[in-house]
Structure 1
Amino acid sequence: MEEDLDAHALRRQGWTISAIARHLGRDRKTIRAYLSGERAPHQRRQPPDAFVPFLEYCRQQLCDDPHLWASTLFDEVAELGYPGAYSSFTEALRRYRVRPHCDPCQASKGRDRAVIAHPPGEEIQLDWVELPDPPAEWGVGGHAHLLVGALAHSGRWRAVLSESEDFAHLVQALDAVLRKLGGTARKWRFDRMATVCYPTSGQVTAVFAGVAKFYGVQVAICPPRRGNRKGVVEKANLSAAQRWWRTVPDQISVEQAQSGIDKLATRLDERRRSVDDVRVTVGELAAGEPLLELPTLPFPAQLEVVRTVSPQALVSFEGNLYSVPPGMSGMHVTVRRRLGEDVLQIVTAGKVVVARHHLAPRGAGRMVRSPGHVIALERTVLAQVSDRAPCKTKTRRPLSPAALAEAERLRGRGGSAASAAERVVINLDTYAAVADRLRTAPTPEEEPGE
């Protein structure tokens, strides 16, 4: 402040800006800013707020969905060019009060929660997530199905998209999740899903008990209406729904969506954790968990899905196309595959096996066609095609003599009918004479038959 006073006083005494700067040991631009009032002492110029250009976008997104996660919104604005860190972003959300207030959500906060210890490698929590409104081209109906598996100790999770939640698809997705995690914990924890246990009693079914024996693990069932008991996987479910499914576009294949959820799960391995006052990441914690090795092949459950044959005599299955004999276009067939085998069968509604193929890698986009099917389809198509040249449509073709004769016959038929109609004359005198004769009743002598 003293320098500011000296600068103004010396300026009024006629000193130049350069002389004042040399006297006070400051830059000439600083002295000029003091004298003009652009700057004040001990107040640095604040840089422009990097959040301001994205303020309206964030406000619109949170107006459309007040429960949108800040991390999801940060992912979106980071792709749009936001240069700040996540902590600066959330501070700006609070400073500008962007998120609308929600009374029901505020009322549910503050409840007591238990802390459950999870030793390394002890438990993996698994749960289905029903994702609403999937892309129409997936053909899965109103919901997509995502099996999420999370290691209870470290929090690492992986997820696999599945066509259904039946037993065979559960086993297929479960094996894929375990292989993405690099092994299995000693215990699997589920809620009361019907493919694992009897929902009323919580006892494991005999069929799924065979799966657990195959992998050498125990099965733990959550108590009814106790979703917090498997809170690790529930948190992973929210991350998958909020940070991935919410922004999945309409024009995307199942394989591309699976790649998106894999990238998200891998990125979340960088989350920070504090263990015994040591800062580590989720990935580092998971790397230290003693997981059991998986069998070479998955449990041999039999997978069956219904498909419709295309006009090209092809059937779609797991991102690939498989051929069938010609003449089955539009028919419903069943694709049958036993997990662990590299052969699939295509069966008709009458339980007739019409095709067997070697299984292509999932999502490879291959067209697997049997040579016999190719030859039969070519013969069928060629038999339907004529070798004659196509007809010319821009030619002049006058009426033939036969057509002219038929037209004359029709005209003559119409003319005779018209002339006959003209010759019909209605004479009302005849009707009058009949009426006069009927006015007088006939005598007995005039009775007919006498």
Structure 2
Amino acid sequence: MQTNFSDEALRQPHIREADRVLRSCVHCGFCNATCPTYQLLGDERDGPRGRIYLMKELLESRDDDDQVTHETQTHLDRCLSCRNCETTCPSGVEYHKLLDIGRAEVDRRVGRSAKERALRYGLRKALVEPRRFQALLALGQTFRPLAPTSLKAKIPPRASRAGRTAPTTHNRRMLVLEGCVQPGLSPNTNDAATRVLDRLGIALSSAPAAGCCGAIDYHLNAQEAGRERMRANIDAWWPYIDQGVEAIVQTASGCGAFVKEYGDMLADDPRYADKARHISALAKDLVEILREEDLEALAVHGDARLAFHCPCTLQHAQKLGGAVESVLGRLGFSLTTVRDGHLCCGSAGTYSITQPALATQLRDDRLDALEAGQPEQIVTANIGCQTHLSGAGRTTVRHWIEVVDEALTTAPNNEARTA
């Protein structure tokens, strides 16, 4: 795609990056074929190709150009950032990088209403601090019966823990990113990962000073606040890296996709660039650890019939489509066929809150596909997808490692677990 940026504009790093991404696009339109919002709305401006043209026009225009309006902002807001288009694109367009630039620029140029600013600020403050989130969640769960129907679906019932086993000391050590909302919404997920890896001779522990990965701030256009969280996490993890931990494990694929991009997002920071690249290299989704191990050591004989929802951040961002299904198959679980498995469920971070109508339609369509094979349970790999799909009150939705852990605790030779 031809661009028309001035030499002065190209001296700005974000314009140079946008120019690079735009020039890789051949505007073929293959991306529209797999875009969830284009399929729902049928509007070129709600597909990747149309949004790319909108962002090109935006970035090439002057600050006083009155053609840049809230309408442009609306079409960019409707994007799920699912990155399905990147998987489809034959030219390798890094659409998500252009989208971050475009959203920041349109917000700077046209602003937001007081209501929108309040919602986004509230989401950032409520979600990124685990203790604050858990306190607000407990309050919501207490008064859930009194909440409007639309709000009840957003407040999950209290989650229980299956009983945490103290990690055994092993020569192999890894860190886990606890996450900001997962400890409140699904506290058993990381516990289950700890127990399963313990059986494999791997000690999993957290760095107490590590916090939110930074994705919520970054994608709500508080990008510098997101970078500050990246730097804080790097500082929290570095002493453990010096001590020889093998990997930084994420059980939420959304966090994993973001941490793997620390190196790119802090590339211009002279103090953190090298460390950020190292952190990104160490970042592993849980399935990347398990698929390399001798799974027979788990003594799991899974017999449940499952449908797997592969999160966009796992299959499109991390390119790990099929990895969880392979591990579950090796462990004996029966997996149903799910049509259009590449499509987004509508969770997409805070999307289900900022775009509730579209998110609900996408969720219901995804559940119809997941339930078509009559699974006993639906499993996934991201807390956002898990919570969003569960909100419909249909088939039970869990993290896949919980199902493995449950089979572990009931498997033959269970004494190996406490050896």
Which TM class, normalised by the smaller chain length?
under 0.3
- TM-score by length of structure 1 reads 0.25
Query: Which has a greater percent of strand?
Result: 1
Q: Which gives a bigger RCO, structure 1 or 2 (Cα 8 Å, sep 6+)?
A: 2
